[in-house]
């Protein structure tokens, strides 16, 4: 976790270096009387792990902050709340295996207060919960519509042929021939793999798991995909040694019936519509709000960063 945190924090700290304190209290935008200051923009940029270095980036980011504020205000109006588990899950998105002491230390190094970070996490959870609520309410589809989506995107639901194979890898052709003779006498493939194979999967009976066409090197793919279940190959030479393969199982290509994957089809349909509905909903929130952007302060902020490069 320490490495992940400090990589993120290094990116967060970069934004702070170029901003003059004299403009941090100046508003860069206003939303229904609420002021978004240059200091707030700086803090949010650090929390988002962004470096704002051009006027275009500054304009795009301030619009993101306006959207965030509008969503939070809507969440307040609708009395959206979240659970401790939801908060914990969001914290672990930022810091896997979250540890408060280590997180505080890393945040401090970037000039971010722990309480500021926690508040940002709470805002993220609130926005995410409201957006999911609104989208689920807006995106409704009858079974025929979902079925139509299924047939229009049938390749996304089709499972392609997969093979489960085992291998024994030897470091010489003579040793490979010896093992081949043992196999011909009926010795179990898995036990011979454990005893003789020189590669790491040997301890697991040479099990390579299931894989599709093209997922393995050609000398494996071109052998096992033409074998029958239970069949053992001849000796195959590769840059890694001499191989003997066993085709353990075959999962044939299958196109499922709609009834078998209707829940998955709905989830995919929902995801495909979410951006479209979200953008329309966001436009409605913006249309009903009084929004101002102070481009002069935004540009001063960018120029103050450029001056110290």
pLDDT in tens, 218-234: 999 999 999 999 999 99
Q: Does residue 205 contact residue 218 with C-beta atoms inside 8 Å? A: no
Average pLDDT over residues 100-110: 80
- What pLDDT digit, counting tens, does each position of 68-102 carry? 999 999 999 999 988 888 888 888 777 666 667 77
Short-list 283, 152, 167, 277, CA closest to 216: 167
Domain with CATH 3.10.50.40 in the chain: 162-251
Residue 275 token pair: 């951006």
Number of H helices, E strands in the chain: 12, 7
pLDDT at 4 > cutoff 70: no
Work out the average pLDDT over 162-186: 96
Write the CATH number of the domain with boundaries 162-251: 3.10.50.40
Selected from 3.30.1600.10, 1.10.4030.10, 1.10.10.10, 3.30.1490.20, the CATH number assigned to the domain covering 2-140+271-306 reads 1.10.4030.10
Angstrom distance (rounded) from CA 160 to CA 65: 44
The pLDDT mean for the chain works out to 86
For residue 6, what pLDDT is reported? 46
């Amino acid at each position: 976790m320490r490495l992940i945190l400090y990589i993120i924090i290094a990116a967060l700290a970069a934004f702070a270096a170029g901003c003059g304190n004299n403009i941090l209290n100046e508003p860069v935008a206003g939303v229904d009387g609420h002021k978004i200051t240059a200091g707030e923009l700086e803090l949010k940029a650090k929390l988002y792990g962004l470096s704002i270095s051009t006027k275009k980036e500054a304009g795009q980011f301030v619009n993101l902050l306006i959207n965030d504020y509008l969503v939070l205000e809507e969440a307040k109006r609708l009395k959206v709340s979240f659970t401790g588990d939801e908060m914990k899950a969001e914290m672990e998105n930022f810091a896997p295996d979250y540890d408060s002491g280590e997180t505080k230390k890393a945040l401090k190094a970037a000039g971010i207060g722990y309480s500021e970070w926690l508040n940002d996490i709470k805002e993220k959870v609130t926005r995410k919960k409201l957006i999911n609520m609104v989208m689920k309410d807006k995106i409704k589809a009858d079974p025929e519509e979902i079925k139509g989506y299924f047939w229009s995107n049938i390749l996304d639901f089709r499972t392609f042929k997969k093979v489960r194979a085992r291998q024994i890898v030897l470091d010489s052709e003579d040793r490979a021939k010896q093992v081949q003779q043992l196999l011909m006498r009926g010795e179990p493939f898995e036990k011979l793999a454990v005893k003789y194979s020189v590669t790491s999967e040997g301890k697991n009976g040479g099990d390579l798991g299931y894989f599709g066409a093209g997922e393995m090197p050609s000398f494996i793919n071109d052998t096992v995909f033409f074998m029958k279940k239970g069949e053992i190959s001849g000796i195959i030479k590769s840059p890694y040694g001499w191989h003997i393969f066993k085709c353990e199982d075959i999962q044939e290509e299958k196109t499922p019936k709609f009834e078998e994957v209707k829940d998955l089809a709905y989830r995919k349909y929902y995801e495909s519509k979410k951006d479209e509905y979200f953008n329309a909903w966001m436009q409605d929130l913006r249309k009903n709000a009084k929004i101002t952007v102070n481009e002069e302060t935004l540009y001063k902020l960018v120029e103050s960063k450029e001056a110290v490069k």
